[in-house]
Each structure stands twice: as structure tokens, then as C-alpha cells.
Structure 1
Amino acid sequence: MRRDAFLKSLAVLAAAGTLPMAARASTNIKMMIPANPGGGWDTTGRALGKAMTDAKVVDTVSFDNKGGAAGALGLAQFVNGSKGDPNAIMVMGAVMLGGIITGKPPVSLSQATPLARLTTEYNVFVLPANSQFKNMKEVVEQLKKDPGSIKWGGGSRGSTEHIAAAMIARDAGVDPSKINYVAFRGGGEATAAILGGNVTVGGSGLSEFSEYIKTGKMKALAVTSGTRMKGVDIPTLKEQGINVEIGNWRGVYGAGGITPEQRKTLTELVIKATKSKAWAEAVEKNNWTPAVISGAEFEKFVDDDFASLRATMVKSGMV
């Protein structure tokens, strides 16, 4: 075969995704996780990385954890350090939008490139095992008497559990600005505070607390879903007369300054990974609800959710 014909055939194979591995350029993904180890973003990012390598859509995935300010510190590092890099991705989600609304960081999410939404997860509120309270009703009654006496512990300011706590206060007729909320930089820190009895009520994604609930180290109060979650014997807030429902989604962005073709390639890698056995196992293990969307649909979703979250936070006295 002539050299020019051979090169053309390679180009056709590459376009079809059937280029032999030996001839294909390696893909080494650099993943920014804008939170400390042990939380929802960390779990999501590492599960996605495993799915990408197990599905053989990439060769390697390296991780960089940078927690703080509801993901704003990691976002800043990602925006400033990865511009134009077609192999850089960042885990993000509703919490980052809330942090941007409350914190007004110097960088914008628009400086990165939307790729795909992956999952939705509802929050659970828990008590330390030795808590004096037995249920959410008792917590709310004490909240009405003395808002500052209930110390809520969870993710960064603007996280979905922070918003939910403010919404619970507003529903109970308490000024949301008076709630005593303690923000932690990662799920590991929040978990340690709850287990140590350093907060009254803890909130996070169900996946982060499920093992502690099963072993009796935490007492589950309520989930933030509209109806009871399948296979989860925890009442909703609405069941307990509290008109609050809020979900927490997670997704991934690429670096700013990449080309449309590079964006398409990255998005396809992520989507292929979500169809792998490894990803399906992670979804089931963590009680995540699959919610994959990409492209323009995802971009519009982020814009709409930002506006909706801002409106909710304004009503709840957080902005």
C-alpha cells in the first residue's frame, strides 16, 4: 500500500474510533476535584476516573484535590492552570453554583467548558448517635425557641444542605439568616464533626452517610427528596410537615479555550464511561440517580439552575 493511501486509511479508522491501540495517541486525563477527599465530588470524580480507565476510553487519570469555598478555589486553579488543555476536566455541580452566588469568586464558571451532567443525589440530615433529639420535629421545635442553639454542619456555604437548612428555617417561621451553619471543606471533615458530636445536625449526600446510618453511628432524620427513595427507609421532610425539597446534581466541565472538536471528544469520553459496568456499580453503591445530559442541553440546564438556585437563596435570606 502506498504511504499516502496508508495514512488516509489510518485517518478513516481514527474517525470511526477503530484505530488500533498501538497506533492511537494515549489519553491522559487530569481531573480537578474542587473539594477535599471523602466527599461527594471526590467520590464522583474517582468513580468516573475508574470508569474511564476500565472502559479503556483513556489510558490514565490523575487527580488533584483542591477544597474550599464551595469549589471556588479549585475552579480558580482549574481556570488559571488548564486553559486550552484538551485533557483537563473538573468535577462540579449544584454546590459550586451556590458557592458562586454567595461567595462571588474572582473567576467565573463561564471561563470553563460545560461537558455533561452525570447524576442527581438527594441530601440526608442526620444526628450524632448520642443526640438528645429523636426526630426532625424536635429539632425544629428547638430551632423555633433558639435558632442559634441548633448547629447545622455540612459542606461549604451555598451547598445544597446549607440551602435546605435555610429553607427548613423559613418554613418553620424562623429568620433563615439566624441559623447557625458550620461549613466544612470536605465530606471527611463534616463526618468527623458529626461523629464527634461537634454539630447538632449534619447534612450531606446519602452516599456519604449511609454506612454510618447502617451501623448506628448516625441517626437519620430526613431526606430532601419529594417522595421516599427506593430502598431507603428514611422519611422525607415533606412527610414530616416541612415543605422542603431540593436535589444535588453533579457534572463535569472541560478547560476554557478548547476547540469545539476537543469539547466533543472529551464529552464522548465521559458519556462512554457512564455506560460502563464500573460506573453502573458506582451508581448503585452510592444511591445516585443517573441524570446524564450533555452539550447545549447541559449548558442550558446550568444556566436555568443557577437562576433557580439564586431565587431560592434570596427567598431564604442567604443572598
Structure 2
Amino acid sequence: MAVPAFSADYTIMAPANPGGGWDQTARSMQEALQAEGISGNVQVTNVGGAGGTIGLAQFVNQETGNPSALIVGGYVMVGAILTNQSPVTLANVTPIARLTGEAVAVVVPAASDIQTMDDLVAKLKANPGAVAWAGGSAGGADHITAGLIAKAVGVDPTQVNYIAYAGGGEALAALLGNQVTVGISGISEFASQIETGELRLLAVSSDERVPGVDGPTLMEAGVDVALQNWRMIAAAPGITDEQKAAISSDIEKMAKSATWQSILASKGWVDTYLAGDAFDAQLAADIAATEAILKDIGLVQ
């Protein structure tokens, strides 16, 4: 008896609270996979906490061998695994592809007396502890960028007063409530508040200016730092080679689709699609480099 071919159903875990970059990535994937007819039904689940390591552990423990289960991860998770000494790592999942890159934005509330990156650097040099940075989880791209900025301007990176929030929405609330000095997170998480003038953009962490974003790079602002936060998708451990190939094919179709490309443009995400052996090699290199940076800024012994 012939079995009709149906597109695969997927459940994508965003290992973070709603509103942040991983949640936006998972929901954007849901939109593109369904709009392009690649998948008939895509669900998104949120499991927040500890830079994605709580969700990662749950995913590995509950989804082994399940070809319909996917998880979003990236630079932040690499850092969180190291800083939290997580027993579950990316070696426990099946990496499929790197999807996007995004510059980290440094912002202050509109009412702040900090007008430029120079002003922020002056405050940082005067008293590092008095500058409270609000960003995503400890050891992630935001935290690393703050540490690298301090180091670049001659401030001890271990003195950075960094307050980690579980999601972009919470860091934003702290900023708008004037509970912190400066915010540091992906551009997409601050974009609408920068546009409305509630937040002032001081600089972005990319090596080139971000199209459509009115703000200098850290390099242009005299701070020798360039960093891109990247995001990836992985499948469950214990799937067959055939199942991995089928998932990889679906993700490649999605990444090259018109729907996905328009989502990237609207969010200011860079298309950094990389899959297969090339991605596995890049992931290993990124993990090693992140560990070195985290040791440098005192987050990992």
C-alpha cells in the first residue's frame, strides 16, 4: 500500500524566554517552514534559564532519537555551557546548520547623560563598578562583548558590573526603567526602541556598519572590538543518518527560501548559513575560541 508523502512536522525548542533572539529565531523558522510548505505543522516551545543549558539538558534527556525535535542554539549557549560547567554540551546533540549572525548593540536610555561611546568609556575608566550593563545570560555574546570593550580600553574585564537577564525583554525593561546604565544585546532586540527614540544607540559590534541602522561600529568609535553573535539549529541525539539528511535538506530549503530571506532583512540578521562538515569544523573552532575569551575576561578558570 502506497503511503502518501507528507512534509515533516517539527517542534522547535527555544531554550530561552519569549522575546529574545532564540525565541525570534525559532518563530521565524516556524513561519518560513510553514509558509514555504516545507513542513505542515511547526510548534515552538520555550524553556528558559542558564543561557540555554536548562533547555538543552531537557532536550537531550527527552528527545533522543526523535527526528521531529529541533533546538535553537548559538554563541550564547557555547559560553553558557562553559560558565555553568554544564554536564550536557553541544556534543550531545546533532548540529544541523548555522543560520544567522547578528551584531551586538550598545545602547543607553534616551535620558542618559552618555551621548557617545567616548562618554561610556570615560565612565568605565573612572569607576568600572558604577557602570551597570544589562544583557543576556552570563558568558554569552553580550557579556563577552562587554568584557572585550573593557579590556580594549584598558579596564580590567573582571571588574565589569554585568547583570544577566534571562531574555531580551527583561534587559529592555531594566533599561527603560533606568535601573541600569547601559544595555548590550542583539540589534533586533532593541531595534524598535532605537527607532522610537526611547534608546540611544552608541555603537554596534560588527566589523562593518549595519545596513539601515544609524550607528557607528565599535571600531569607528575607537574601541578595538568586533564580534558577531551567531545562531544555529540542531537536531536530537541518536537520530539515523537518513533522518539527519532529511532534516538538513528541509533546513537548507528554508534557509534559501524567499520567506526566510525577507525575515532576515526585516530583523537585520546576516545570512551566515553553513552546514555539514564545514559547520562541524567551524563549531569546534568557535567553542575553543570562546573558551579562550572567557578565561581572558575571568568567567572561566
TM-score range (shorter-chain normalised) is: over 0.9
1:279 aligns with 2:232: no
SS at match of 1:114: strand
Count of aligned residue pairs for this structure pair: 300
Instruction: Report deviation, 1:263.
Output: 0.5
Counterpart of 1:153 in structure 2: which amino acid?
A: A
Other-structure match for 1:174: 155
Other-structure match for 2:143: 162
Counterpart of 1:108 in structure 2: which amino acid?
A: T
Other-structure match for 2:128: 147
Counterpart of 1:141 in structure 2: which amino acid?
A: A
SS at match of 1:80: helix
> Does the CA contact (< 8 Å) of 1:120 and 1:291 recur in 2?
yes
1:100 to 70, 81, 84: 81
Distance in 2, Cα, partners of 1:43 & 1:26: 23
Instruction: Report deviation, 1:211.
Output: 1.1
- Give the alignment of 1:1-319 within 5 angstroms: 23-25=4-6, 27-319=8-300
C-alpha RMSD of the superposition: 1.2
Counterpart of 2:238 in structure 1: which amino acid?
A: G
SS at match of 1:238: coil
Higher-Rg member (1/2): 1
User: What percentage of aligned pairs have identical amino acids?
Assistant: 43
SS at match of 1:304: helix
> Does the CA contact (< 8 Å) of 1:176 and 1:318 recur in 2?
no
Q: TM-score, normalised by structure 2?
A: 0.97
> Does the CA contact (< 8 Å) of 2:7 and 2:38 recur in 1?
no
Counterpart of 1:76 in structure 2: which amino acid?
A: A
Distance in 2, Cα, partners of 1:35 & 1:220: 25
Encode CA deviations 1:88-136: one digit per residue, 9 max, x unaligned.
Answer: 0000111100111111112121111010111111110100111121111
Instruction: Report deviation, 1:26.
Output: 5.1
SS at match of 2:158: helix
SS at match of 1:306: helix
SS at match of 2:248: helix
Unaligned runs of 5+ in 1: 11-22
Encode CA deviations 1:260-313: one digit per residue, 9 max, x unaligned.
Answer: 110110111111112222211210100111011111111111101011111122
User: Which stretch of structure 1 is more off in the superposition, 277-286 or 246-255?
Assistant: 277-286
Encode CA deviations 1:204-250: one digit per residue, 9 max, x unaligned.
Answer: 11111111101100000100011222232201111121111111011
Distance in 1, Cα, partners of 2:207 & 2:8: 41
Instruction: Report deviation, 1:137.
Output: 1.0
Unaligned runs of 5+ in 2: none
SS at match of 1:258: coil
